[in-house]
A and B are shown apart, each in its own frame.
Chain A
Amino acid sequence: MSIAIIDCGGANLRSVQHAFQLKGYEANITTEKTQIGQASHIVIPGVGSAGMVMNALNSLQLTSLIKELQQPVLGICIGMQILYEYSQEQNTKCLGIINGEIKKLPIQQGIKIPQMGWNEVIFDQSALSNLNNHYYFANSYYAEGSLETAAITDYKVTMSSVVIKNNFIGCQFHPEKSSVAGEQFLDYFLGLK
């Protein structure tokens, strides 16, 4: 197993690395094309903004490499959002692996933005129902339900909290900050081939 964490410039890369290290796996933070291409599992972490992450990936010339990856790829939070075609956050053109756009959470009575804290994630396939749990979220933007939705979360809007398209998985929550539930989710990801 060789895990590559793509350094898109955002803070908090270390938390993702530590989450793997806590489980006894080495994970390299990298921008190096060969290392990314040869990794068994690739993580696109995301703290910051969609514009910032896409700027980083564009200037590192990593976008076409990422789209062509065949091995399991996990996008976390913004890392999930940039799998879509477009994000309303800073009008950002994203990778376009998943059709559709990322929207700002609507301002509604009793809803705080950002969503910050532990919310319930419910998977739609019974094979994944063992992963149903509370996970930690920190987001102001979200993906609506679509064909790729694998799990949903209720925050007055129903958001896609996990999406799966071929070898690409995105999670809106932060598994690296979600205690035992997050560890189980990362185990699931590392179990994919």
Chain B
Amino acid sequence: MLCKRIIPCLDVRNGLVVKGVQFKNHEVMGGITELAAKYSQMGADELVFYDISASTEDKTVDKSWVQEISKVINIPFCVAGGIKSLEDARLILNEGADKISINTPALINPMLIKQLSDEFGSQCVVVGMDIKTINSKHLVHAKTGNEATAYSSEREASDWLEEIESLGAGEVVINSMNQDGMRNGYDLELINDLSGRCTIPMIASGGAGCMEDFTQVFRSTNVDGALAASVFHKDVFTVQELKKHLQLNKINVRG
């Protein structure tokens, strides 16, 4: 059967990999291709690159680094950040990315999901959902790359999930803004609530701090993969160590 995926996430700003805490105070982690090659060799199942400058500054990602990545790794990777049109997506996919992920543009124009899916196939189209729980309502947020621009779309996560599935999204990333960069575990309640009703692959994101957090999210929810950034960038543990730990805990991962 299909393995659970471990997905390092690289936030990109001005050509460098950075990491913030709860979407602010970004520190530089290293070069894009160097980190991409390192994680690929370590056994990462997939990589995600978020251009966090693109979405908030109203520009599309600079694509030159996408092709550089595709030259150094031979595992799938996804590019996110400021993709607003079929043409934006086509350029990135033609440069060698396997998937594109959209968040704010999908909230502004949901039909973009359908257009992308019809044109490139649903397997290319990932929708990222940045969710902040406010008064026990799980609200999807837009323009989250920068604290100053982030705002609530007023959409409930479960409604939005249903909508993006019907529009042809091929995968969804559930990112808990409350947990992001806090390293105290995935938001199991939120993820469990959403993964129970999801028919497309779902990736958990936000909050991983130790190897046990991954075991927990795979044991107690129906997610297909887990995404994390700072634990890998800061060498808290390696992808290999994590996979060994998960195998010992009877989670089906690629060795």
Mark A residues whose CB is within 8 Å of B. 11-15, 18-19, 21-22, 47-49, 107, 110, 112-120, 134, 136-140, 154-155, 174, 176-179, 182-183
Q: Name the distance in Å between A11's Cβ and chain B's nearest Cβ.
A: 3
Q: Are B200 and A11 in contact (CB under 8 A)?
A: no
Evaluate whether A113 and B200 lie within 8 angstroms (CB atoms) in the complex, with A47-B121, A134-B3 already known.
yes
**Segment touching A, from B24-32, B94-102, B129-137:** B94-102
Evaluate whether A117 and B3 lie within 8 angstroms (CB atoms) in the complex, with A11-B93, A14-B95, A179-B75 already known.
yes
Q: Are A177 and B225 in contact (CB under 8 A)?
A: no
Work out how many contacts link A and B, with CB atoms closer than 8 A. 103
Q: Are B1 and A155 in contact (CB under 8 A)?
A: yes
Give Cα A155 to B1, complex, Å: 6
Give Cα A15 to B46, complex, Å: 14
Q: Are B121 and A48 in contact (CB under 8 A)?
A: yes
Q: Name the distance in Å between B97's Cβ and chain A's nearest Cβ.
A: 8
A-B contact pairs, 18 of them (CB 8 A): A11-B94, A11-B124, A12-B94, A12-B96, A12-B98, A15-B96, A15-B98, A18-B74, A112-B198, A112-B201, A112-B202, A117-B45, A119-B3, A154-B1, A155-B1, A176-B74, A177-B74, A179-B75
Q: Type the 1/0 row for B16-45, where 1 means its CB is closer than 8 Å to any CB of A.
A: 000000000000000000000000100001
Q: Are A182 and B74 in contact (CB under 8 A)?
A: yes
Q: Name the distance in Å between B76's Cβ and chain A's nearest Cβ.
A: 5
Tell me which residues across on chain A come within 8 A of B45, comparing CB atoms.
117-118
Q: Are B120 and A11 in contact (CB under 8 A)?
A: yes
Q: Name the distance in Å between A92's Cβ and chain B's nearest Cβ.
A: 13
Q: Are A22 and B74 in contact (CB under 8 A)?
A: yes
Q: Are B93 and A138 in contact (CB under 8 A)?
A: no
Give Cα A137 to B224, complex, Å: 13
Tell me which residues across on chain B come within 8 A of A178, comparing CB atoms.
74-75
Per the 8 Å Cβ criterion, residues 82-114 of B in contact with A are 90, 93-96, 98
Q: Name 14 extra pairs, CB < 8 A, besides A14-B96, A182-B74.
A: A11-B94, A21-B71, A47-B93, A47-B121, A47-B124, A107-B199, A114-B170, A116-B123, A117-B2, A117-B45, A118-B2, A119-B3, A137-B2, A138-B123
Q: Name the distance in Å between B73's Cβ and chain A's nearest Cβ.
A: 9
Give Cα A63 to B46, complex, Å: 34
Highest count of chain B CB atoms <10 Å: which of A13, A15, A174? A15
Q: Name the distance in Å between B42's Cβ and chain A's nearest Cβ.
A: 11
> How would you classify the secondary structure of chain A's contact residues: helix, strand, loop or mixed?
mixed
Q: Are A47 and B254 in contact (CB under 8 A)?
A: no
Tell me which residues across on chain A come within 8 A of B255, comparing CB atoms.
134
Give Cα A119 to B3, complex, Å: 6
Say which residue of B40, B76, B121, B201 sits within 8 Å of A136 (CB atoms). Answer: B76
Evaluate whether A114 and B200 lie within 8 angstroms (CB atoms) in the complex, with A49-B121, A119-B1, A183-B74 already known.
yes
Q: Kindly state whether residue B5 has any CB partner on chain A within 8 Å.
A: yes
Q: Name the distance in Å between B24's Cβ and chain A's nearest Cβ.
A: 31
Q: Name the distance in Å between B202's Cβ and chain A's nearest Cβ.
A: 8
Tell me which residues across on chain B come within 8 A of A140, comparing CB atoms.
121-123
Q: Kindly state whether residue B146 has any CB partner on chain A within 8 Å.
A: no
Q: Kindly state whether residue B67 has any CB partner on chain A within 8 Å.
A: yes
Q: Are B96 and A114 in contact (CB under 8 A)?
A: no
Tell me which residues across on chain A come within 8 A of B74, comparing CB atoms.
15, 18-19, 22, 176-179, 182-183
Q: Are A118 and B122 in contact (CB under 8 A)?
A: no
Q: Name the distance in Å between B174's Cβ and chain A's nearest Cβ.
A: 14
Give Cα A113 to B165, complex, Å: 10
Q: Name the distance in Å between A90's Cβ and chain B's nearest Cβ.
A: 10
Q: Kindly state whether residue B158 has any CB partner on chain A within 8 Å.
A: no
Tell me which residues across on chain A come within 8 A of B200, comparing CB atoms.
112-114
Q: Kindly state whether residue B238 has any CB partner on chain A within 8 Å.
A: no
Q: Kindly state whether residue B187 has any CB partner on chain A within 8 Å.
A: no
Give Cα A107 to B199, complex, Å: 9
